[in-house]
């Protein structure tokens, strides 16, 4: 243990920046049994590992972190003073050593667990808590061959996390030129192919820097004010990357995305990296829904690679606080073909009951019925003013019979959770044509229910090919099929994605979760 005076002084004057839980106790654990021997210095000079760590602390923006949280400048200044001084005491070097160790504790913790508890952001993800020894990891960094490699080992081992971390450096360079996104205003609401735009040259420069416009095309017409075919093609690529309708038209919404400062894109990437750090490792191939992307990914293995992955558009909850799709982790356990729709009580009271009382044929027209009890075999109660009063009081419930017009479509996928959220098909197929698909009351509507059923039932029981799935969806009865083993389901929220093909995708912060997380990180 370091001498009490030096150690206690360091404990009383913690480094500037974001601390971690039990930081001083972890610091004591790092030095337990070392007597007065420092970790990062030897003979009044930093070890090779100490030099590496000090350099990494100054460049933690590569991870999407802030150097000020690790007192990088404070440590660099103290190091400079000691290295320049003629008289340097062992106590002063030990104080610097303690500063480096405390910064290393923070960095290891933040890279492994994230800086914010996901529950503070309203996310129910479980996190990466568990058997991870921060103190032993810091000790290993001090004696290892490569500090950067040691830090990489504590980060999430997801391929797309690494891709996004790599892309962050490129976008940080682009953001250093704020003039890139300063475009002249549009002369009218929408510009199309062959229209004239005074900012066409600036637009080419931006799209070329972002990788949407090939370099040769940009140079060929760099000064033209015409939206030529190459520029329209580049706009389509940009629109596709940013969750817009890829029509190649330069309209107000596309212009707003183009004019978004690249520093904001950097922030989206940083916040998404933070959320990746909250996730547990995949122990079985998961199904992931990224809410602001309006997309589902069903993994063939535990590796997050595109090859063999089932992907499809989804519809998520509306942006009102009551109807947002929650962020959480569950386990899919069964599938119901031709399901009843048990109308949630909130929808019953706010939407259905007033219509039932106004229109005598509302129940019959929408294949709705009043039911006593919670099971599918509950007794159906004939409509009457008394029954409507019982429905309002919660003594009866409202459900919709299975069929083509059932709000859940012909199949639903159940992963039990406190939010009563599940995946299901839908009769409203036209909504999938929209680029922004926040239309539900919180549940997730899938574009290709047959493909998803084939995926979740691929291991039985029995052989579930398309023909059998379609037959079950259109059969006479409601049928529950239990899965042989649960499938992890992760309902996530990330507004940036680095793809294996190269393009970086950005999505609208439809629920304001980016704003909330940014505020938490500023506290």
How many angstroms separate the CA atoms of 269 and 495, rounded?
Answer: 7
If DSSP states are collapsed to H, E and C, what string results for 132-159? CCHHHHHHHHHHCCCHHHHHHHHCCCCH
Residue 478 token pair: 């409601």
Burial class of residue 477 in the structure, from the number of CB atoms within 10 Å of its CB (0-12 exposed, 13-18 middle, 19+ buried): exposed
Condensed to tens digits (0 to 9), the pLDDT of residues 159-189 reads 999 999 999 999 999 999 999 999 999 999 9
The pLDDT assigned to 221 comes to 63
CB 426 within 8 A of CB 291: no
Locus of tokens 């015409």? 226
Q: Backbone phi, then psi, for 199, in 5-degree steps?
A: -95, 15
Give the residues across from 297 on adjacent strands: 288, 311
pLDDT of residue 460: 79
Decide if 134 contacts 76 (C-beta within 8 A).
no
Q: Is 437 helix (H, G, I), strand (E, B) or coil?
A: coil
Q: Which domains does the chain have, with CATH numbers?
A: 4-155 (no CATH), 183-258 (1.10.101.10), 283-339+402-492 (2.40.440.10)
With 0-12 / 13-18 / 19 or more C-beta atoms within 10 angstroms meaning exposed / middle / buried, residue 11 is middle
What's the pLDDT at 223? 77
Take residue 10 and report the two structure tokens written for it.
């360091």
What does the H/E/C string look like for 14-74? CCCCCCCCCHHHHHHHHHCCCCCCCCCECCCCECHHHHHHHHHHHCHHHHCCCHHHHCHHH
Beta strands in 217-323 (DSSP E): 287-290, 295-298, 310-317
How far is it, in rounded angstroms, from Cα 396 to Cα 347?
14
Helix 147-154 vs helix 134-143: angle between axes, to the nearest 10 degrees? 160
Token pair belonging to 345: 């009580």
pLDDT per residue of the chain (523 residues) written in tens, 0 to 9: 455 655 666 556 667 888 888 898 999 999 987 776 899 998 888 999 999 999 999 999 999 999 999 999 999 999 999 888 765 678 888 889 999 999 999 999 999 999 999 999 999 997 666 679 999 999 999 999 999 999 999 999 999 999 999 999 999 999 999 999 999 999 999 999 999 999 999 999 999 999 999 987 766 567 789 999 999 999 999 999 999 999 999 999 999 999 999 999 999 999 999 999 999 999 999 999 999 999 999 999 999 999 999 999 999 999 999 999 999 999 999 999 999 999 999 899 999 999 999 998 999 999 999 999 887 778 999 999 999 999 999 999 999 999 888 999 999 999 999 999 999 999 999 999 999 999 999 999 999 999 999 999 998 788 999 999 999 999 999 999 999 999 999 999 999 999 999 999 999 999 999 999 999 999 8
């Amino acid at each position: 243990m370091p001498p009490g005076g030096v150690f206690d002084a360091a404990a009383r004057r913690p480094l500037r920046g974001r601390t971690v839980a039990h930081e001083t106790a972890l610091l004591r654990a790092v030095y337990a049994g070392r007597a007065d021997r420092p970790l990062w210095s030897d003979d009044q000079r930093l070890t090779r590992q100490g030099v590496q760590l000090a350099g990494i602390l100054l460049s933690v923006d590569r991870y999407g972190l802030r150097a000020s949280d690790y007192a990088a400048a404070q440590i660099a200044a103290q190091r400079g003073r000691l290295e320049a001084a003629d008289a340097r005491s062992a106590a002063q070097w030990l104080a610097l050593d303690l500063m480096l160790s405390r910064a290393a504790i923070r960095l290891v913790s933040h890279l492994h667990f994230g800086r914010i508890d996901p529950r503070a952001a309203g996310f129910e993800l479980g996190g990466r808590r568990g058997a991870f020894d921060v103190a032993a990891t810091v000790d290993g960094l001090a004696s290892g061959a490569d500090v950067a490699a040691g830090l990489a080992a504590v980060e999430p081992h997801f391929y797309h996390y690494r891709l996004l971390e790599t892309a962050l450096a490129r976008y940080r360079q682009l953001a250093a030129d704020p003039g890139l996104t300063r475009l002249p205003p549009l002369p009218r609401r929408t510009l199309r192919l062959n229209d004239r735009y005074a900012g066409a040259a600036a637009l080419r420069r931006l799209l070329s820097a972002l990788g949407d416009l090939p370099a040769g095309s940009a140079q060929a017409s760099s000064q033209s004010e015409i939206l030529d075919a190459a520029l329209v093609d580049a706009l389509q690529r940009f629109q596709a990357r940013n969750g817009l309708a890829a029509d190649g038209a330069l309209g107000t919404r596309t212009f707003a995305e183009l004019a978004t400062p690249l520093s904001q894109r950097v922030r989206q990437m940083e916040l998404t990296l933070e959320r990746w750090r909250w996730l547990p490792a995949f122990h079985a191939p998961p199904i992931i829904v990224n809410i602001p992307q309006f997309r589902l990914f069903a993994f063939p293995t535990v590796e997050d690679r595109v090859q063999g992955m089932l992907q499809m558009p989804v519809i998520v909850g509306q942006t009102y606080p009551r109807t947002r799709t929650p962020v959480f982790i569950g386990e899919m356990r069964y599938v119901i073909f031709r399901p009843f729709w048990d109308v949630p009580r909130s929808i019953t009271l706010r939407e259905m009951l007033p219509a039932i009382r106004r229109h005598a044929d509302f129940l019959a027209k929408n294949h709705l019925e009043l039911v006593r009890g919670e099971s599918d075999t509950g007794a159906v109660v004939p409509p009457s003013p008394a029954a409507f009063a019982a429905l309002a009081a919660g003594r009866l419930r409202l459900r919709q019979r299975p069929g083509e017009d059932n709000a859940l479509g012909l199949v639903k996928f159940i992963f039990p959770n406190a939010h009563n959220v599940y995946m299901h098909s839908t009769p409203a197929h036209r909504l999938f044509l929209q680029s922004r698909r926040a239309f539900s009351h919180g549940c997730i509507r899938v574009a290709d229910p047959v493909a998803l059923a084939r995926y979740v039932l691929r291991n039985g029981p029995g052989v579930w090919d398309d023909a059998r799935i379609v037959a079950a969806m259109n059969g006479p009865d409601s049928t529950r099929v239990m899965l042989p083993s649960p499938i992890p389901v992760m309902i996530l929220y990330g507004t940036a994605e680095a793809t294996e093909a190269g393009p970086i995708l950005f999505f609208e912060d439809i629920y304001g979760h980016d704003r909330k997380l940014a505020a938490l990180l500023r506290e």
